[in-house]
């Protein structure tokens, strides 16, 4: 099991990314015939994005577990990395 600091770092990094790119807070994606906030794609593996905070425009990630497997931690890491790289690519093109 992986202790929380690595997943906390990913969560903190993603929230910081959202602060630096406030336009990302308003983005939505199509999912099952409806639109949802893009931020809600954040993996819900024990460090979960709070929907009400997203709707209020002040995203918050709630930790409901103390430990994570390496694969769960890597899922969070990969999500943050993908979001950053996607934003850079869209900004460049």
pLDDT given at position 12: 97
Judge if pTM exceeds 0.75: yes
Residues in the chain: 93
Q: Tell me which residue of 61, 54, 62, 60 sits closest to 25, measured CA to CA.
A: 54
> Are residues 79 and 42 in contact, defined by beta-carbon separation less than 8 angstroms?
yes
5-19 pLDDT per residue, tens:
899 999 999 999 999
Q: What is the pLDDT of residues 39-71, one digit of tens each?
A: 999 999 999 999 999 999 999 999 999 899 999
């Amino acid at each position: 099991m992986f202790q929380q600091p690595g997943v906390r770092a990913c969560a903190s990094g993603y929230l910081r990314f959202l602060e630096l790119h406030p336009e990302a807070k308003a983005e939505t994606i199509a999912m099952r015939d409806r639109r949802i906030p893009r931020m809600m794609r954040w993996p819900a593996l024990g460090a979960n994005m709070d929907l009400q905070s997203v709707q209020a425009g002040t995203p918050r990630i709630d930790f409901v577990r103390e430990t994570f497997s390496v694969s769960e931690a890597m899922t969070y890491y990969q999500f943050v990395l993908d979001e950053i790289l996607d934003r850079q690519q869209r900004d460049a093109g």
